[in-house]
Amino acid sequence: MPEKAQAVILDLGNVLVFHDDALLFHRLGERSGLDADEVQARLRGEGWDAANRGEMTREEIWRGTCQALGMELAAADFNDLWCCHFRVHDAVMPLVESLVGRAALLLLSNSNPIHVEHLRPLLPLLARFDHVLFSCELGMAKPDPRFYREALKRAGTAPGQTAYFDDHPPFLLPARALGMQAFHFTGAEGFRRQLEALGLADS
């Protein structure tokens, strides 16, 4: 039986919002005349990571992506396209809202500045979180252990009393190494059962 959690740290992508990267690469490919695999190959890597760490401005992301894909696009059109793949995970929202006041509630997300600007209005519930940690605003990103340590510091709880949820299994490893209770997020129903086991949901 897991120890009752005093804090819950949530990932963003495929937890609070779905993000369909295949759709993003497909749509970018439609505008650039490239196939989706080529778009992914050109964008994934250090530039993508640098954007998540906040080392690129919105303009640098826009211009750099257009240059990498050989296309011309106005900034506003690019922003719309760059964020086309997000959809709020409605089924999980009541469960997350039920945690407000029941445990310290934090977000720990790898995100770039354009996505952050787009997602905040889509997720008004974030205003009720105790702390929201976006990688681009802190200059560090998962799986950097410093990012997890900062979340623990903000939570103010012992690692064993802190539950972390992420859809990407490799990102669970640093949390476990720090002693957190780390759970693979697979959907709303599994999340509800995990919260029950942590003493944070009504059975």
pTM over 0.85: yes
Q: Got the DSSP string for 126-189?
A: GGGSSEEEEHHHHT--TT-HHHHHHHHHHHTS-GGGEEEEESSGGGHHHHHHTT-EEEE---HH
pLDDT in tens, 8-54: 999 999 999 999 999 999 999 999 999 999 999 999 878 889 999 99
Q: Where does the pLDDT of residue 203 fall: very low under 50, low under 70, confident under 90, or very high at 90 and above?
A: low
pLDDT score recorded for residue 47: 84
Cβ burial, residue 93 (10 Å; 0-12/13-18/19+): middle
CATH superfamily of 7-18+87-197: HAD superfamily/HAD-like (3.40.50.1000)
| Same CATH fold assignment for domains 7-18+87-197 and 21-82 | no
Cis peptide before 143 (omega within 30 of 0): yes
CATH 1.10.1740 at 21-82, yes or no: no
Number of other residues whose CB lies within 10 A of the CB of residue 190: 13
Listed by start position, the domains of the chain span: 7-18+87-197, 21-82
Element (H, E) at 95: helix 93-97
pLDDT in tens, 67-119: 999 999 999 999 999 999 999 999 999 999 999 999 999 999 999 999 999 99
